[in-house]
Amino acid sequence: MQLTLIRNATLSLTYAGKRIVVDPMLDPKDARPPVGHTDNDRRNPLVDLPPGAADALAHPDALLVTHLHQDHFDAAAKETLAKTLPLICQPEDIDSLAVDGFANLFPVEDAIVWEGIAIARTPAQHGTGDIAAMMAPVSGFVLSAPGEPTVYLAGDTIWYPPVAETIDRYHPAVIVVNGGGARFTIGDPITMTAEDIAAVQRHAATTTQVVVDHLEAINHCGEPRPSIAARLEALGAGDRVHIPADGETLTFDLH
């Protein structure tokens, strides 16, 4: 399996002979207003797509959209991606995606098999309390296929018991977590902090690799890569955690 981080949570996965683009955020830098109720007014996305993004995104076999927040599925994605592409999603989003013109939808209530890849939907909690309720629905997904490592895309979630239960159930070889400690001026973080990432690493098997994305691209994400790396090191949880740069490709073998 190859995983290329494009930007934020946008990934290009080469998996079981298919290229799957996850959570495409393709708007140019500064295309959108800042996320409100945050500590700065920088326009989003904060950074351009990296060099090579066009190649990594070219000719996908499918799209996987964890939820419809703009930093996971934006105007440029809706306008430029082929409406005939298979699009794997949570059931709550099919009506909106159909209105956007996407005609080949694969909603996952519990689990489906697409082109030999088993895809299971998993719980996610995008914050705590009233904020989590407001930000819902969001989902994670687990992918597995013969000859490939099992991959858990945790989605926009904090560390909470169902994440641990998902790890225990599927025993993923690779876990992709959305970091950055995104938050508003009130309430708790709505994506994983360094402490959450450390909890994931400690709970997973000693062979599990953790990949951190959702970094340095949206104005309400307050934890940049160097801070996360330093905090994980201080917590004794830096081992097996990868914090790729935008445009970087990681390769994982079955083990």
Q: How far apart are CA 206 and CA 239, in angstroms?
A: 9
For residue 9 the two structure tokens come to 């949570």
For residue 102 the two structure tokens come to 């996407």
pLDDT tens-digit series, residues 131-188? 999 999 999 999 999 999 999 999 999 999 999 999 999 999 999 999 999 999 999 9
**Strand pairing class (241-242; 209-213):** parallel
Residue-level pLDDT at 255: 61
Q: How far apart are CA 24 and CA 12, in angstroms?
A: 9
Q: Could you give the C-alpha distances from 51 to 205, 246, 248, in angstroms and in order? A: 34, 9, 10
Cβ proximity of 120 and 138 under 8 Å: no
Nearest to 203 by CA among 195, 191, 213, 212: 195
pLDDT tens-digit series, residues 65-113? 999 999 999 999 999 999 999 999 999 999 999 999 999 999 999 999 9
Q: Where are the alpha helices (DSSP H) in the chain?
A: 53-57, 75-80, 94-99, 129-135, 161-170, 194-203, 225-234
Q: How far apart are CA 176 and CA 108, in angstroms?
A: 19
Instruction: For the chain, list the domains and their CATH numbers.
Output: 2-251 (3.60.15.10)
Q: Is pLDDT at 48 greater than 90 in this prediction?
A: yes
Residue-level pLDDT at 254: 77
- Mean pLDDT calculated for residue range 31-39: 95
Which strands sit side by side in the sheet containing 10-15, from one edge to the other? 105-107, 87-89, 62-64, 18-22, 10-15, 2-7, 249-251
pTM, to two decimals = 0.98
Residue-level pLDDT at 97: 98
pLDDT tens-digit series, residues 192-240? 999 999 999 999 999 999 999 999 999 999 999 999 999 999 999 999 9
